Amino acid sequence: MFWRGLLKGKQSNITFFIFGILLFTSSVGFVGFGQLLRAPVQKNNSFVTHKRLPIFFEHYGKIKKLQNSNVSETADIKGYFESQSSKLNPLPEYSRLVAPIFIWRLPKDLKGIAKVNHRKKIFITLLLPLLIRHNIAITQKRSSVKILIEKPISSLSIDEYNWLVKTALHYKIFDESISKPIITKEILKELLNRIDIIPVSLALAQSSLETGWGTSRFSIDGNALFGQWTWKTNKGIRPKQRAPGTKHSVLRFSQLAESIEDYTHNLNSSSHYRSFRSKRSALRKADYPIDIWAQNLVKELKKYSSNSEHYILTIKSIIRENQLTDFDNYSLSP
CA dist., res. 99 & res. 110, Å (int): 20
- Tens digits of per-residue pLDDT, 15-33? 444 344 333 333 333 333 2
Rounded to 5°, the CA angle 31-36-42 comes to 100
Residue type at 2?
F
State the pLDDT at residue 196: 98
Q: How far is CA 30 from CA 24, 38, 223, 313, in A?
A: 8, 12, 20, 45
- Tens digits of per-residue pLDDT, 153-182? 999 999 999 999 999 999 999 987 788 899
Percent of the chain with pLDDT over 70: 78
- Tens digits of per-residue pLDDT, 74-86? 999 999 898 898 8
Q: How far is CA 81 from CA 102, 112, 117, 211, 304, in A?
A: 10, 19, 18, 21, 32
pLDDT-derived band at 244, boundaries 50, 70, 90: low
State the pLDDT at residue 95: 78
pLDDT-derived band at 230, boundaries 50, 70, 90: confident
- 79-83, 323-327, 328-332: least confidently modelled range: 79-83
Residues 294/205, Cβ–Cβ less than 8 Å? yes
- Tens digits of per-residue pLDDT, 137-150? 999 999 999 999 99
Average of per-residue pLDDT across 303-311:
91
pLDDT-derived band at 188, boundaries 50, 70, 90: very high
The per-residue pLDDT of the chain, averaged, comes to: 83
Q: 277: helix, coil or strand?
A: helix
Tell which residue, 126, 319, 324, 101, has the closest CA to residue 225. 126
Residue type at 230?
T
State the pLDDT at residue 242: 67
State the pLDDT at residue 35: 31
pLDDT-derived band at 13, boundaries 50, 70, 90: very low
Cβ-Cβ contacts under 8 Å for 204 (sequence gap 6 or more): 124, 127, 128, 131, 322, 324, 327
Average of per-residue pLDDT across 249-273:
94
- Tens digits of per-residue pLDDT, 92-134? 666 789 999 999 999 999 988 989 999 999 999 999 999 999 9
pLDDT-derived band at 199, boundaries 50, 70, 90: very high
Domain locations in the chain? Answer: 151-194
Name residue 286's beta-bridge partners.
none
State the pLDDT at residue 201: 98
State the pLDDT at residue 12: 44
- 58-72, 191-205, 240-254, 290-304: least confidently modelled range: 240-254
